[in-house]
Amino acid sequence: MTVVGLLGLQGAFLDHIPHLKRCAVSYRIVRDSMALNAIDRLIIPGGESTVMAKFLEEFDMLAPLCRRIREGLPVWGVCAGSILLAEQVDGNAGSLSALPISVTRNAYGRQIASSVHFIDIPVMKQERYPAVFIRAPRIDRVGEGVTVHASRGNDPVFIQKEKIMATTFHPELNQDDCFHDYFLKV
């Protein structure tokens, strides 16, 4: 049976559990490199990217995780998770550097600027999906091989390259499971 890892260093990782239960897959909270070996997929949750990046490194998880991603581990980065996956963050080198994208953190402003936007997602046959953006990063550049599945105005907000996907909004805060369903098939 598929075991979905939830990176459990900080943030909203527990929020994915009801979705995964409804999708009938098991899950495991990942807080060390040992646990990284026991999972088939990984969700990097929303939260503070600075905190997650710091402890990935301090707990010696960065290199093993990069290796597993290179070997084909399907990964989904949500908001802060998309920042961790990016090649470039605010002009500097990113943490996992697994996706050829450049992002700007908190690009839409502070919390009072956070908002719900309705986006169309053809790949899921979703129209006007209510995407919750919270102090969201903006994807400023997508490199070769990256598919843009959905945008907010001109900004890509749901992208994928092979088995790596990123959303700059928070599907885990919605009741439906369409993103989790999709990720389990990636």
Active site residues: 79, 170, 172
163 lines the binding site for other proteins (CB under 8 A): no
DSSP string, 29-41: EE-SHHHHTT-SE
Pair type for strands 164-167 and 75-78: parallel
110 lines the binding site for other proteins (CB under 8 A): yes
Q: Could you give the CA distance from residue 65 to residue 84 in angstroms, rounded to a whole number?
A: 12
Task: Show the beta-strand stretches assigned E in 79-172.
Answer: 86-89, 92-93, 99-104, 115-121, 126-133, 138-142, 147-152, 155-161, 164-167
Among 48, 140, 155, 176, binds other proteins (CB under 8 A): 48
46 lines the binding site for other proteins (CB under 8 A): yes
8 lines the binding site for other proteins (CB under 8 A): yes
- Contact string (CB under 8 A) for other proteins, positions 134-153, x = contact: xx------------------
Among 3, 25, 31, 142, binds other proteins (CB under 8 A): 31
Count of residues engaged in binding other proteins, rule: CB under 8 A: 32
106 lines the binding site for other proteins (CB under 8 A): yes
Q: Could you give the CA distance from residue 117 to residue 122 in angstroms, rounded to a whole number?
A: 16
